[in-house]
């Protein structure tokens, strides 16, 4: 049987999703729990990686198991074993050909910037910027990035690793609530640091260090290392992974 | 010169306010910062203690220093040295006879209970109860505690340590927003574990393990160890300390 699992995690204490030696990762913690339940080493397949300190409200992964257990019992068994910064939201049975990574149709991310006073309770959950940004400039700049473009300038994946860096941004909305800016970003797929580099460039516009037109020019340059600032990880949340 | 300082801290990584050997405390961190600035060991005097993992939005302390520095410079210097889970809100010059503990007229606390699904992002910031409570019963129970009473039954300070355990609760309001209950508690002063024992007893009413009348009876008993449940520390916030 193949299972699709929706999971949330607080990224603060993780070195990201993907298993690496000697550091704590979400994938490793989940595989440890799962392997305890099925009593053999079991691999999970995530919809994609998240970086160190990045959060997820609804990341998705799949795994295969022959254990005869209802989805509700999987949900309970996994949550009973998970550490307190991981929480299973849902377990569903899916067809054998479902794949958490290959079948993704789009992903939704949010990024939060606090322009107000430092808030000790949010230190791991927003980017504490402490200054007012020009939201009008940022919105204008964002408009140049929406749609289908070659995003070579706005990510850190080397071209010899992934040659085709054309992606589609369906939405890039910026809304302000009190002192906090929320960036809602939806797209077909994201390359390494792509969201944090986009948000970083927009913040430079909000600071008047760049003009909105610079954002367009950099996009058209299609070269690496033109974006001066990558927004820090703690403000970023994987909000939803969509499938057909 | 005597200075009054308003400070917020995320209690998650502290063993409470008061200095103790071998563990990290808020008082110790603040005294380390202060002592670096004035270049000699300096003691601070808090409005009172908070327990391990309890938070503060606006705790108050005072200290004396002969350094010739404006309040704004104290504010900046302290924040530059404070760890990221402590933030100085305000520094004010006060009269030499101001005392952060003895001059308190009332204190305001809040306690948060999440009756909804477990939320990884709030694990250190609310009590995750995961079940629905009967708020009507809790409000009725709370009404018996408002006013001036001998709170011997509702705190853990031994009577041979503090004989007079009469205190006044000015307010004990319970409001619900989505799945989260907020308890707002204002009073002349609080004894050890008093708020967590009051909230714990109210939660027992919300679970129908106790009747509101039981809350009144326990109050009238004036004996220790009659309250079955102390609400956990992570839901508690010192919100404000009031002076004349």
Q: What is the mean pLDDT of residues A75-86?
A: 97
Contact B204, B213 (CB under 8 A): no
Q: What is the mean pLDDT of residues A90-106?
A: 97
Residues of A in contact with B79 (CB under 8 A): 118
Q: How confident is the model over A180-202, as pLDDT tens digits? A: 999 999 999 999 999 999 999 99
DSSP string for A111-155: EEEE-SS--GGGTTTSEE--S---HHHHHHHHHTTSEEEE-GGG-
Give alpha helix (H) positions in B102-157.
Answer: 135-143
Residues of A in contact with B120 (CB under 8 A): 8-10, 84-87
Residue in A87, A119, A120 nearest the CB of B118: A87
Q: How confident is the model over B180-234, as pLDDT tens digits? A: 999 999 999 999 999 999 999 999 999 999 999 999 999 999 999 888 789 999 9
Q: How many C-alpha atoms does B131 have within 13 Å on its Cβ side?
A: 7
Q: How confident is the model over A115-163, as pLDDT tens digits? A: 999 999 999 999 999 889 999 999 999 999 999 999 999 999 999 999 9
In Å, how far is A81's CA from the nearest CA of chain B? 14
Contact B46, B90 (CB under 8 A): no
Q: Is residue A207 packed enough to be buried (19+ CB in 10 Å), middle (13-18) or exposed (0-12)?
A: middle
Q: State how beta strands A236-243 and A55-64 pair.
A: parallel
In Å, how far is B123's CA from the nearest CA of chain A? 7
CB contact under 8 A, B87 and A118: yes
List of domains in chain B? 2-94 (3.30.70.580), 105-243 (3.30.70.660)
Interface test with B, best of A6, A121, A126, A130 (most B CBs within 10 A): A121
Complex confidence, ipTM: 0.90
Handedness of CA B131, B132, B137, B142 (dihedral sign): positive
Phi and psi angles of residue B152, each rounded to the nearest 5 degrees, phi first: -50, -40
């Amino acid at each position: 049987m193949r299972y699709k699992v929706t999971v949330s995690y607080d990224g603060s204490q993780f070195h990201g999703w993907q298993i690496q030696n000697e550091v704590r990762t979400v994938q490793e913690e989940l595989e440890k729990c799962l392997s305890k339940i099925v009593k053999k080493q079991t691999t999970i397949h995530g919809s994609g990686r998240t970086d160190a300190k990045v959060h997820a409200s609804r990341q998705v992964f799949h795994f295969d198991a022959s254990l005869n257990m209802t989805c509700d019992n999987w949900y309970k068994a996994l949550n009973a074993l998970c550490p307190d910064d991981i929480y299973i939201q849902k377990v569903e049975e899916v067809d054998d050909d479902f794949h958490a990574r290959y079948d993704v149709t789009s992903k939704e991310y949010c990024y939060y910037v606090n322009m107000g006073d430092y808030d000790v309770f949010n230190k791991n959950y927003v980017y504490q910027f402490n200054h007012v940004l020009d939201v009008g400039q940022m919105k204008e700049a964002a408009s140049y990035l929406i749609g289908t473009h070659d995003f070579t300038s706005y990510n850190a994946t080397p071209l010899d690793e992934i040659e085709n860096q054309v992606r589609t941004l369906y939405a890039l909305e910026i809304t302000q609530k009190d002192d906090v800016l929320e960036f809602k970003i939806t797209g077909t797929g994201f390359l390494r640091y792509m969201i944090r580099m986009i948000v970083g460039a927009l913040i430079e516009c909000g600071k008047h260090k760049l003009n909105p037109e610079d954002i367009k020019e950099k996009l058209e340059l299609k070269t690496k290392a033109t974006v001066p600032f990558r927004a820090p990880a703690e403000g970023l949340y994987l909000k939803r992974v969509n499938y057909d």
